[in-house]
Copies of this chain bind each other. A is one copy, B any other.
């Protein structure tokens, strides 16, 4: 049923090796033979078997991506961005989700490594990054993205999280806010801690009280629940900063539930930038991660290791962009004099 290289060779009246050379371009083949082979291949609908190809050649045109959650649009947009890069070069992407579980992460990674991919892109589910050893032991080039533990020394690309936090805080401070709430997913994550750090630095410098920190977890439901109970008690804060996209939703949902109006009662700063953010009312001010660029950078890093050019590992930090829309404004009740 399925056509092999030998069928093509027979029909074109050449050897299998020649057919291989025509397709791989590995060695020159006279033009009339190329013609014959090409024709035979399209006639038969030949498509090289990639498993066989990779087994013999030892190199796979496949990159594995392992993320904590395929329902999180940030992760999938990253995958989309990587896919857009690699497709032109004949690579395919194999994806897996660790579902936020460290052991599953290791299991899935082991399975992915069975494909002997050319490279691996991984977003660990926590800072332990317990699958690290397995990954390093495999000798396969890999890039850690988004959640990079501080001790990690290999290739990694993230945004400049401290700066992201700083930009968010500075914008709100400039508007006159003094009482901050930070909605973080989990303080166990290095990127989240860095974003907090950036915010704290700005507030400290201005002599403002340090922000109230709320850990909202990694999905929408727990986020909006925890923020909801918080908001019902608290009256002072006027500036809310989300540190992940789910935190953004949580803040919004509980603000509405509590009857607080945005931006009149409170200002909210979202994280990541999605279409819905400028479709809703008020359109959301947010810190935008340069997803396209992150994907491009990951691929560049990976490719540097593919053609066994021994490129040294590097830590790339890309800048976020503050996009100001209407969910942030000057605090109305600035006169509670909280200092």
In the complex, chain B residues whose CB is within 8 Å of the CB of A47: 110, 113-114
Chain B CB within 8 A of A48 CB:
yes
A206 within 8 A of B: no
Q: Is the CB of A279 within 8 A of B93?
A: no
Q: Does residue A115 face the partner (Cβ distance < 8 Å to B)?
A: yes
B111 and A96 contact, CB distance less than 8 A: no
Contact flags A211-243 to B (C-beta < 8 A → 1, else 0): 000000000100010000000000000000000
A83/B70 in contact, CB under 8 A: yes
With A94-B93, A252-B280 as given contacts, are A51 and B54 in contact (CB-CB < 8 Å)?
yes
Q: Which residues of B contact A93 (CB under 8 A)?
A: 94-96
Q: Do the beta carbons of A115 and B95 come within 8 Å of each other?
A: no
Interface residues of A in 38-72 (CB under 8 A from B): 45, 47-52, 54-55, 60, 62, 69-71
Determine whether the beta carbon of A115 is less than 8 Å from that of B50.
yes
B51 and A115: CB pair below 8 A?
yes
When the two chains form their complex, are residues A114 and B50 in contact, meaning their CB atoms are under 8 A apart?
Answer: yes
Asked if A278 CB lies within 8 Å of chain B CBs, one says yes
Number of chain A residues whose Cβ lies closer than 8 Å to a Cβ of chain B: 61
Minimum CB–CB distance from A32 to chain B (whole Å) comes to 25
Task: Determine whether A249 belongs to the interface, using a CB cutoff of 8 Å to chain B.
Answer: yes
Chain B, residue nearest A108 (CB): B87
Give chain B residues whose Cβ lies under 8 Å from the Cβ of A83: 70, 95-97
Tell me, in angstroms, the Cα distance from A79 to B256 when the chains sit together: 32
Residues in B whose Cβ lies below 8 Å from that of A97:
80, 83-84, 87
- Known interface pairs A47-B113, A94-B93, A113-B47. Does A139 touch B1 (Cβ–Cβ under 8 Å)? yes
Which residues of chain B are within 8 angstroms of A275 by Cβ–Cβ distance? Answer: 220, 246, 249
Closest Cβ–Cβ distance, residue A31 to chain B (whole Å): 24
List chain B residues, Cβ under 8 A from A54.
51
Given A49-B116, A83-B95, A94-B93, are A139 and B55 also a contact pair (CB < 8 Å)? no
State the CA gap A90–B92 with chains docked (Å). 19
Q: How far is the CA of A252 from the CA of B282 in the complex (A)?
A: 11
Check A335 for interface membership: any CB of B closer than 8 A. no
Given contacts A76-B70, A280-B276, contact A2 B139 (CB under 8 A): yes
Min CB–CB distance A77 → chain B (angstroms) = 6
Tell me if A250 counts as interface (CB < 8 A to partner B).
yes
Nearest chain-B residue to A73 (Cβ)? B73
Q: Is A152 an interface residue (CB 8 A)?
A: no
Q: Is A306 an interface residue (CB 8 A)?
A: no
CB-nearest residue of chain B relative to A112? B92
CB distance from A223 to the nearest CB of B (A): 9
Kindly provide the distance from the CB of A177 to the nearest chain B CB, expressed in whole angstroms: 21
| Bound CA span A96–B76, Å | 12
List residues of A whose CB falls within 8 A of some B CB. Answer: 1-2, 45, 47-52, 54-55, 60, 62, 69-71, 73, 76-77, 79-80, 83-84, 87, 90, 92-97, 99, 108, 110-116, 134, 137-139, 220, 224, 246, 248-250, 252-253, 256, 274-276, 278-281, 283
Shortest 6 CB-CB distances between A and B: which pairs? A70-B80, A249-B279, A253-B279, A76-B76, A51-B51, A252-B279
